[in-house]
Amino acid sequence: MKNKLNNKTIIEVKSLTKSFNDTLVLNNINFKLLEGESLAIIGASGSGKSVLLKNIIGLLKPDKGSIKINGVEMVNLKRSIKEKILLDLGITFQHGALFDSLQNWENIVFKIRNKEKLSNKNAKELALSIIKRLGLNSEILTLYPSEISGGMQKRVAIARAICGDPKVLLFDEPTSGLDPVTGSLIDKLIKAAVKTVGGSAITITHDMASVCRIADKVILIDKQTISWSGTPEDMLKANNPKIKDFIKSTNPKLFI
């Protein structure tokens, strides 16, 4: 994915270290996400990718290090200011994290309705316009998350993240559990979201085809730290054994 990149740093992670009890999960993580850039984070299960994302969005507090979003230091930031910053991000969680007690359309417009007053009619229309982009039909809007398939739930979660066209998107395994066609559709949507609003995205994924389709830059987390980084093209030529293992699992050249 080639976007015109600016030099403006959207997210900057410096010397981030995180451990749980005595188990070190992330050690000295450093990277930057530039405006208009799509960054893919890859790594084996349990390597700490989701922990890194949770640190960025303030759900976990790093033991050491700094996380800046649009130049604002997030670690130890006052909660009310942090919440305002988070409102400008679109986030999806690994398992969707849709609210069971709300219908799908209410889930999708949840954040927007916290920001501004929106009638039910307008909110439903907004939700409909978003789910159409994701290949879902209008019937699912009035259903509850438990009444739709896992793949649909994933797409509703993505719809919730992109509602309001946030400039920074953070996706935790957006295509896991989806069929290849839907996975490809989601990738296109991430690309479109980054391109159309001039935004930036961090995507955590295991799907190498997806990495090649959406990423400008890839980082590999292995043994608690970033063991490799580069472009998807570099990745295909890399000598790193972990990268090679990942590439072996699929044939990402097909998707470039």
Residues that bind other proteins (CB under 8 A): 54, 57-59, 83, 86-87, 89, 91, 93-95, 97-100, 110-111, 114-115, 160
Q: Where are the beta strands (DSSP E) in the chain?
A: 9-20, 23-34, 38-43, 64-69, 72-73, 89-92, 168-172, 200-204, 217-222, 225-230
What is the chain's length?
Answer: 256
Nearer to other proteins, 150 or 180 (CB): 150
Smallest separation, CB 131 to other proteins (Å)? 18
Phi then psi for 83, rounded to 5 degrees?
Answer: -60, -40
Nearer to other proteins, 174 or 252 (CB): 174
Q: How far apart are alpha carbons 21 and 86 in whole angstroms?
A: 27
What tokens does 228 get? Answer: 């490799």
What tokens does 229 get? Answer: 């980084």
Smallest separation, CB 128 to other proteins (Å)? 20
The one-letter amino acid code at 55 reads N
Smallest separation, CB 232 to other proteins (Å)? 28
Instruction: Give Cβ neighbours of residue 209 (< 8 Å, ≥ 6 apart).
Output: 180, 183, 250, 252, 254, 255
Nearer to other proteins, 6 or 101 (CB): 101
Smallest separation, CB 136 to other proteins (Å)? 19
Nearer to other proteins, 18 or 213 (CB): 18
Smallest separation, CB 114 to other proteins (Å)? 4
Nearer to other proteins, 1 or 123 (CB): 123
Phi then psi for 217, rounded to 5 degrees?
Answer: -140, 145
